[in-house]
Amino acid sequence: MIEERKSVNLNSNVVQNLVLENREKLSISGVNDVLSFDDQVVMVDTELGLLTVKGENIRINKLSLDTSEVIVEGEISSLNYSQKSQEKNNGTSLLSKIFK
């Protein structure tokens, strides 16, 4: 739990905004890449981790990697952050220690 707080504090100079309007339009800044999407799930790689947007009839209305912005529209039911896989395996797993 403490390690998670430290990793968030290390990224304190990163600015990311999520603006959800009426659960229908989500504006995301600080986007590195869109990893996958369909009409129910959009997975976005952001400066603060992997963001998963779930819902119905979801579509990407705007994608600009130059300005690091994505706009997702549809019936949005959930937003979930998870750490990037590289940060999770930060050399702390048993196998990574064995095979150094």
Query: What is the Cα–Cα distance from 70 to 81, expressed in whole angstroms?
Result: 16
Rounded to 5°, angle at Cα 9 from 5 and 14: 130
- Chain CA centroid to CA 73, Å: 16
99: which 2 tokens?
A: 């095979």
Q: Tell me the pLDDT tens digit for each residue of 6-64.
A: 444 455 677 899 999 999 999 999 999 999 999 999 999 999 999 999 999 999 999 99
Structural domains in the chain, sorted by start = 2-85 (2.60.40.2000)
